[in-house]
Structure 1
């Protein structure tokens, strides 16, 4: 009975940590990125100066009727920031999880069954970390700007830094994910980052 209670407490704390991390990630991203009223669009019109100099208008910024116009480089920076922020948050969350699991393993008062379960969880986390890193690296080597792989029990999500994916690109990514994660197609979701 005591072992079951300890397991439930451990699982409950892990779930609470994940919820807190999700909330913090959401809060951080709300402050980091523009709100929904500010839209990022390309400026297709040419100014007289640009016509005379033959310069590309993508570098012009202007505020017109509530719409902010930004260049492709700034859009890429926002997208890049999303991937960096997610990786940092994922690393912080995992560090906390690993620290907590190690405290259970190192605690002399933890029973053998609980230590065994904690060691299995630690092994799962490290295996998932390795698989995610491999998937992300292979996807980037295929010519994609960036990607994030998120492996959970029974599912894999991949966020790719591209607004739209062709069926060939989806097939490429799916092949990599299936091979590296040993997951079935129905358990894999590929999400373009818009």
Structure 2
């Protein structure tokens, strides 16, 4: 009877995993499709307006200027981009990184997330998604010709920190699982670390082993800023 129940639970858990993965894949594909469709529709509109002679701009008292090149529109839009980038304080980049870190930490440690049967899958997807968005934001700053050297250096520094933390997270998770735990989810910021362990209970010996791993792989994190939780 217990064997049947275990098989049933395994099937349910497998279905949950598949649904999560399918949902994430559909989200990515739909987003890409929408962006592509939007771009193609915009080009179609521009072409039709050019052919119909409607691509005009009324200036001053009735003076009409025909816009023959779409690049002119991009150059006009670029005026707004110049003012935005030039006026951005480099500290804003740090603020975005801190906001992203706070959002991920809250998502991974709140009770609703911890109650999910697919917590470790959903947690990794959410962590990686938010991180990917932040890295994309940093890449745009680094690649923009309008970015000041100070802002570019700040964005590159934070991006390298994020990449290094991702590598540390993978190492710590694997080392924790090597101790016999079913799973572990780790999230590292520049001064804190949160980890959720898949186990019914954490003994003092378990915590000591986990802390030892963290001290070796992320020694720059003060132990006061380390949070260790368990997920049954």
Short-chain TM bin: 0.5 to 0.7
Looking at structure 2, the residues matched to 184 and 162 of structure 1 have their Cα atoms a distance apart, in angstroms, of 25
- Counting only pairs closer than 5 Å after superposition, residues 78-117 of structure 1 correspond to structure 2 as 78=117, 81-117=118-154
Query: Could you say what the CA RMSD is over the residues aligned between the two structures, in angstroms?
Result: 2.9
Determine which structure has more spread, i.e. the larger CA radius of gyration.
2
1:117-136 mapped onto 2 (5 Å cutoff): 117-136=154-173
Q: Deviations over 1:133-171 (max 9, x none)?
A: 100010001100000111122211111011311111111
Given that 2:161 and 2:190 are in contact with CA atoms closer than 8 Å, whether structure 1 keeps it comes out as no
How far is 1:181 from its partner? Answer: 0.6
Give the TM-score of the pair, scaled to structure 2: 0.55
* 1:161 correspondence with 2:198: yes
Cα distance 1:99–1:86, how it changes in 2: closer, same or farther (>3 A)?
same
Supply the distance in 2 between the matched residues of 1:22 and 1:186 (Cα, whole angstroms): 16
Q: What is the 5 A alignment of 1:66-77?
A: none
| Shift of residue 24, structure 1, vs aligned partner | 7.8
Extract unaligned runs of 5+ from structure 1.
34-77
Q: Deviations over 1:69-111 (max 9, x none)?
A: xxxxxxxxx1xx1001000111111111111100000001101
Secondary structure of the residue that 2:89 maps to in structure 1?
Answer: helix
Would you tell me which structure has more helix in proportion to its own residues? 2
Relative to the length of structure 1, the TM-score reads 0.64
In the alignment, the residues of structure 2 paired with residue 22 and residue 131 of structure 1 have an alpha-carbon distance, to the nearest angstrom, of 16
Equivalent in 71, 90, 94 of residue 7 of structure 1: 90
